[in-house]
Structure 1
Amino acid sequence: MRLYFKYMSILLRSQLEYRASFWMLSLGQFFIPFSIFAGLYFMFSRFGGIPGWSFYETALIFGVIHMSFSLAECLVRGFDGFSTLVVSGDFDRLLVRPRGTVIQVLGSKFEFTRIGRMAQSTVVLVWAILNLPIAWTPLKILTLVMMIAGGALIFAGIFILNATLCFWTVQALEVANIFTDGGREMAQYPLNIYRKPVKIFFTFIIPFACVSYLPMLSLLGRAKGHSLLYSLLPLASLLFLLPCLAAWRFGVRHYRGTGS
């Protein structure tokens, strides 16, 4: 982890060399998600909302998912842009270093300008919390933190799977955006508005429901059965991440190099 934070420190200093550019990009990232949130706001103002869900309840889910996505984009950007390392042959350099490939790819790129997107998500999250009658307890606070962290791990797992495909396809596949950008757009709304196949896929295959909709029922006091089980569901993100890392190790073992 010392090496990881060293990578982070070096890249942060390099990006801050052009401070005006850094802060302008961060400001742009702050305002970009507002167009998405504005769509959510106008949908509720025009149609009266989603059955069974108020605007602030949906806004809380929105804030959680977008903060998770921002964290993943900031900290796992190395895997998202991994195809450039394969195309250029730079991944061969990583293989001869005395450290694991996961930590090196993670440390190859950080997008610190995503703090703007995180700030916007934080504003929405705090605004929703202040307008909801939730009796906050240590367990509920922990659940909210695990929801954000779990969502980031799921997005990280998708980035890792997409990077793994580069060992055979060289270039990253756009189909991964269905599960990153598309997953973000889907998970920012309550899962019960979708049809059963969608619910099953995003609960048991890519468990976005376990970090947004289902634990949110526990926060709002709507859990059917033992609420503690709903609160612990964000841990399912680890069950998704571990096979992704296993797939990555499989890909590394079968990587043939550039031949240069």
Structure 2
Amino acid sequence: MSLFALRKNLRIYFKLQLMQIRSTVEYAADFWIGIVGAMMLQASGLVFIIALFGQVDQIAGWSVWNIMLLYGLAMIPTGLRELFCDGFWTLRSKVNSGEFDRVLVRPISPALQSAGALSSIHGFGGVILGSTLIWLSLTRSDVALHWWTIPFLLLTITSGTVLVSAISMLINLTGFWEPSAQSALPTMLAQFIDFAKFPIDIYNNAIRTVITVLLPYAFISYYPALVLLNRNHDWQWLGYCTPLAAAWMVLVTKFVWSKALMRYQGVGH
């Protein structure tokens, strides 16, 4: 795809997404109920953390506010993915129903169409709560803030959003190989992001490998947090590698996507 075509596709994509968001905002009551509900759902995990730290002072050397930073760093990319790329979760139904045929004949990238097929307002709740947690954790943790803190956060969050969106697309591409209309596999794989809300030192080598290499969720929270908190850790340098991890997942997903398109045969085959 040429640079001009890419810009055109992205422009159309963001216009369609903004239209979906605007249509949702028109119903103010439903909009705010959805946001508050999403924040309450996300906050349920924080209740567990607060209760846990009522019994212990630290987890693997991480204080309660350090853990909150991990939560916030994981919430924002997830929320942005829900806002702009939640459509990947409709791929399986479109493939099984044959509706994916229409996606292929439209004059816009099938990948962008799939990403923008759905926009969830719940993402606003994740972004708001995640931003609040990051601000509180950085101001209440005993760390020095630098001129590069905000740019580093913005780069990490942007790259993290690309990363979780690529993973979301990748795990939903299983629908091109599985004949069933429903599958628990994508949901199960997506839940691995919860491991990134805690310091990965508490996990065994298998889980650390999965969330660092196979489904590299650790790059959206744990490794960047090592940099932000200036923790003296052997793997702290990986905190600067979130853009590289995101690029790697995009390349892997692009490769699998091309194989999925070749496998798709449409209705009646």
2:185 to 175, 180, 183: 175
| Paired residues of 1:162 and 1:173 also in contact (CA < 8 A) | no
Query: Matched residues in 1 for 2:123 and 2:42: separation?
Result: 11
The question of whether the paired residues in 2 share the 8 Å contact of 1:16 and 1:22 is answered with yes
CA contact 1:4–1:103 (8 Å) conserved in 2: yes
Contact 1:68 1:151 in 2 (8 A): yes
60-69 or 230-239, larger mean C-alpha shift:
230-239
Residue 251 of structure 2 is aligned to residue 234 of structure 1: no
For structure 2, the 5+ residue unaligned runs are 1-9
> 2:157: which partner in 1?
148
TM-score relative to the length of structure 1: 0.90
Identify unmatched segments of 5+ residues in structure 1. Answer: none
CA distance in 1, matches of 2:209, 2:52: 26
Q: Check whether the contact 1:165–1:172 (CA below 8 A) recurs between aligned residues.
A: no
SS at match of 1:81: helix
1:79–1:226 distance in 2 versus 1, CA, 3 Å: closer
Give SS of 1:137's match.
coil
Report the counterpart of residue 114 of structure 1 in structure 2: 123
Query: Does the aligned pair in 1 maintain the 2:143–2:229 contact within 8 Å?
Result: yes
What's the CA shift for 1:60? 0.5
Q: Which of 210, 230, 252 pairs up with 1:243?
A: 252
Report the CA distance between 1:135 and its aligned residue. Answer: 2.1
Q: Which digits, 9 at most, give the CA deviation of each residue in 1:132-187, with x for residues without a partner?
A: 23222243333322332333233212221232111222535212222212x22211
1:91 deviates by 1.2
CA distance in 1, matches of 2:149, 2:252: 28
Offset of 1:189 from its aligned partner?
A: 0.3
Cα RMSD after superposing both structures = 2.1
Pick the aligned partner of 2:73 from 64, 67, 71. 64
2:21–2:121 contact (8 Å) kept in structure 1: yes
SS of alignment partner, residue 256 of structure 1: coil
Q: Which position in structure 1 is the counterpart of 2:95?
A: 86
Aligned with residue 214 of structure 1, among 198, 223, 226:
223
Task: State the AA in 2 paired with 1:174.
Answer: A
TM-score w.r.t. structure 2 length?
A: 0.87
2:74–2:196 Cα contact (<8 Å) kept: yes
Task: Return the alpha-carbon distance in structure 2 between the equivalents of residues 130 and 161 of structure 1.
Answer: 36
Percent identical: 26
For residues 232 and 90 of structure 2, the distance between their equivalents in structure 1, rounded to whole angstroms, comes to: 39
Secondary structure at the residue paired with 2:55?
helix
Picking from 210, 213, 236, the partner of 1:201 is 210
- Give, in whole Å, the separation in 1 of the partners of 2:122 and 2:61: 36
1:125 positional shift: 1.6
